Chains A and B, each alone.
Chain A
Amino acid sequence: MRHLVVFRWRAIVLVALLVLLLVVGWLVLLDTMVERGVERSGAYLVGARVDVQSADVRLGEGVVVLRGLQVTNPDAPMTNLLEAEEIVVDVRMAPLLERKVLLDTVALRGMRFGTPRGESGALDDMPPGSGRIHREIAQWAGAIRIPPLTLAGLRQAANLDAIQPESLKTVAEARASARLADSLVRRWDAELRALDPRPRIDSARALVGRLQTADPLRLGVSGMANLATSARGTLTEVQDLRARVGGLDSTALAQLTLARGRLDALAASRASDIAFGLSLLELPTLEGPQLSPAIFGDAVIAWVRPVLYWLRLAEEYLPPGLRPRRYAGADRVRGRGTTVLFPTERSDPRFLFGNGEASFVLAGSPNIAGEYRVHITGLTSDPALYGKPLALVAERAQATRGPASVKLAVVLNHVARPVRDSVDVVLREIGLPALDLRAIGARLLLGRGATELSVRRTGDQLSGRWTWRTTDASWERLAADTAQEVPSVGSRRWVEELLWRAVSGVRAVDLELQLSGDIRWPSLAVRSNVGEVVARALRQEVGREVERVERDVRERVDALTERGIARAHEGVDALQAKLTNEIASRLAELEALEAQLRDEIRKLSRRLPEGLPVP
């Protein structure tokens, strides 16, 4: 019988060799793996390509050096969000066995923002879940309606045909009012016919006549008693009839009030129709508060997007609490599935940069170039485990150009719900950027000035204010027009000429934008003195023209609605006449009859012998 052998002892050497081969391979490929790992997780995080030129992992020293890091701006794939020449990170080794990354120090060198890329950094195949926040913010930005700044309507003075009766609210509502009045008149005709009080009124009048001529001696006691009983019965009938007609009267009054109310509402509809007619002609608003969003809308949305993006990203990757978290699995040939993270209070966070100072040099950009110092505490993927909020303070240690103040303070308290974030940025005496204001066909070079950003978030509610102030602004035409002929009123060139004359002399610019509401769909308000300047210029130049066009529109609306409104008035007047003449007159007649009956019954009792009561 053959002996059963469970183990192949000779294969131990082969397995040991295999393991050794794997370890050596891992060590050889470790740099590449870290490089790819940073690129993949970075791309997943940002939603655009992240490139690392090389990675150097020194296991013995616990140091990782990343060189040539480029993070693509997901909004502009040919531009880098940031670029760093070298990042040196001290990593604790033991926690790596638990896949926990705990950093001791981080040193950054050669940081640049907004640098151009040699090739597009857009991802060919976006991993599921990646770039979700970016897409949501893009959707929000796309849905914001920026009022257009156009004077094209000034050329459409003759084109009032666009205002048609079918499109006017007043016409439809006047028709409805007239229909309602007609139907109420018909209804009251029917009601009064059904009630028909005339025979009972006539019969009561006849009884009053009999009471006036009643002779107790001729009728006798029983005849008087019968007459009195009959009088009292008729009195009750008259009272009942009066109550019924009175009931009709109060219902009729309510309906008349309704009809009158609808008639009054026609005035508001007419105003709304005039506004609609003006909107068809694309007339410009001449109010500063409405003009500022039209002028700066696109620019401020572009500024606000990164603020919202980083706040949302912080919420996503620095979530409060210790509940399991789900993410899309790693990219591989097989299905990615879902990876669930299970933090526990007894373990280290998955990622932690507990307390550190970093310094880096910003080069390239003339606006904020210089040496920066950053102090950061509690940058962790699991704030609940760390137990303290993330605090980041950055300031410029030395400016490359001029005396400038740059301060950034961020506190992200994600230890527990609701999350409480605050971001404060103060940049003073620095070179502010240039803005292409396509709405007025000009570029605004803000020059040297100050900008302050203050954002507060509690739970899902966000409030923020961002101001830009300069007294050093200058302007450039976006496209110089060399045409010599005088542009026609309302044409694009005419508008640009007008606006250029208005703004080109403005040196002091104040711009303020406010954010409020749900962080996923905040509302945005923009105010600027430039809006006021443009409004003033517009009022001066085109105020009379706008008034003329407005008058034309008003006349057109009046002409189209006049007949309908008159018909509605006629209908309601007819209703009022019916109710007043028929119901009120019958009610008055019944009241007089009732009083007469009471009076005659009283007189009848006086004519009876003393001691004999009226039955």
Chain B
Amino acid sequence: MLTLLKILQSLVRTLNSEGTPHQVAVGMALGACLGLTPLLNLHNLVMVAAIALLNVSVPGAVLGWLVTIPLGFLLDPVFDAVGRELLVDASGLTPLWTTIYNTPILSFANLNNSVVLGSLIGWALLALPLYAVARLGVARYRATIYPRIARWRVFQVIRASKLYNVYRLFQA
């Protein structure tokens, strides 16, 4: 329950004031990678490092991750089909996959799996539109919806949580 509360607080602060709409949107786009692709893979380790090191909104990334988890499950058959198309049917790409498969470390990226490859390609294609939509959405939200809900009592409770201090560590 406490965790849920903290997530909600994070979400609210992110949408309201922490970070610019650009930072939140980039965070959401990067976080979407964690949700859209199978989590325990090498590229997601890189993605977590990128989210931590780049000046993007970490709660935004968490939001992007949480929102896209169900989407990832739903789109698995599509990712599988895309991955199979690239790995099996596109014979022109075989030399590329052969190189990746036989390269040290890179071979652990599981890019020879249809769902991993398909979902990574899917995320790469969706990242930019996701960024644009998120940036526009956050800006609109702050301008129109936030002033109204700021007066809600539940909103003030969430905002008062101590998690805010931890979150500050990631602010520029």
Interface residue ranges, A against B (CB under 8 Å):
5-8, 10-12, 14-15, 18-19, 22, 97-99, 324, 326, 329-330, 332, 334-344, 346-347
Measured in the bound complex, the distance between the Cα atoms of B161 and A550 in whole Å is 97
The answer to whether B17 has its CB under 8 Å from any CB of chain A is no
A337 touches B80 (CB 8 A): yes
Measured in the bound complex, the distance between the Cα atoms of B54 and A2 in whole Å is 17
Interface residue ranges, B against A (CB under 8 Å):
38-40, 45, 48-49, 52-55, 72-73, 76-77, 79-80, 83-84, 87-88, 94, 97-98, 101-105, 107-108, 110, 112-116, 118, 169-170, 172
A97 touches B77 (CB 8 A): no
A97 touches B102 (CB 8 A): no
- A344 / chain B contacts, CB cutoff of 8 Å: 98, 102
User: What is the interface of chain B mostly: helix, strand, loop, or mixed?
Assistant: helix
Between A and B, how many residue pairs show CB distances below 8 Å?
A: 100
A337 CB to nearest chain B CB (Å)? 3
A484 CB to nearest chain B CB (Å)? 70
A338 touches B94 (CB 8 A): no
A22 touches B53 (CB 8 A): no
Q: List 6 A-B contacts (CB under 8 A).
A: A8-B54, A324-B97, A337-B115, A338-B84, A340-B88, A340-B114
- A346 / chain B contacts, CB cutoff of 8 Å: 102
- A98 / chain B contacts, CB cutoff of 8 Å: 102-104, 107
A15 touches B52 (CB 8 A): yes
- B112 / chain A contacts, CB cutoff of 8 Å: 339-342
B45 touches A14 (CB 8 A): no
A33 CB to nearest chain B CB (Å)? 12
- A22 / chain B contacts, CB cutoff of 8 Å: 45
User: What is the interface of chain A mostly: helix, strand, loop, or mixed?
Assistant: loop
B73 touches A15 (CB 8 A): no
B109 CB to nearest chain A CB (Å)? 10
Neighbour of A341 across the interface among B101, B104, B114, B116, CB < 8 A: B101
Measured in the bound complex, the distance between the Cα atoms of B77 and A346 in whole Å is 34
Neighbour of B80 across the interface among A12, A18, A338, CB < 8 A: A338
A381 CB to nearest chain B CB (Å)? 13
Neighbour of A347 across the interface among B39, B48, B73, B102, CB < 8 A: B102
A264 CB to nearest chain B CB (Å)? 60
Measured in the bound complex, the distance between the Cα atoms of B172 and A5 in whole Å is 7
B115 touches A329 (CB 8 A): yes
Neighbour of A324 across the interface among B45, B94, B110, B116, CB < 8 A: B94
Question: Knowing A11-B170, A14-B52 touch, does A335 contact B102 (C-beta < 8 A)?
Answer: no
B79 touches A335 (CB 8 A): yes
Measured in the bound complex, the distance between the Cα atoms of B111 and A337 in whole Å is 11
- B73 / chain A contacts, CB cutoff of 8 Å: 334
A8 touches B115 (CB 8 A): no
B55 touches A5 (CB 8 A): yes
B53 touches A15 (CB 8 A): yes
Neighbour of A11 across the interface among B52, B80, B94, B110, CB < 8 A: B52
In the complex formed, the residue of B with least CB distance to A11 is B52
Chain A to chain B: the 5 pairs with minimum beta-carbon distance, closest first: A337-B115, A335-B76, A337-B114, A97-B104, A342-B98
B55 touches A7 (CB 8 A): yes
- A340 / chain B contacts, CB cutoff of 8 Å: 87-88, 97, 112-114
B102 touches A338 (CB 8 A): no
Measured in the bound complex, the distance between the Cα atoms of B54 and A6 in whole Å is 6
B53 touches A12 (CB 8 A): yes
In the complex formed, the residue of B with least CB distance to A335 is B76
> Known contacts A7-B53, A8-B53; can you find 18 more A-B pairs with CB under 8 A?
A11-B52, A14-B52, A18-B49, A97-B104, A97-B105, A98-B102, A98-B104, A99-B108, A324-B97, A332-B38, A334-B72, A335-B80, A337-B113, A338-B114, A340-B88, A340-B114, A342-B102, A342-B112
- B49 / chain A contacts, CB cutoff of 8 Å: 15, 18-19
Question: Knowing A98-B102, A341-B112, A344-B98 touch, does A7 contact B54 (C-beta < 8 A)?
Answer: yes
- A12 / chain B contacts, CB cutoff of 8 Å: 53
Task: Point out which of A332, A342, A346 has the most chain B C-beta atoms below 10 A from its C-beta.
Answer: A342
B48 touches A18 (CB 8 A): yes
In the complex formed, the residue of A with least CB distance to B40 is A332
- A326 / chain B contacts, CB cutoff of 8 Å: 88
- B52 / chain A contacts, CB cutoff of 8 Å: 8, 11, 14-15, 18
Measured in the bound complex, the distance between the Cα atoms of B106 and A347 in whole Å is 14
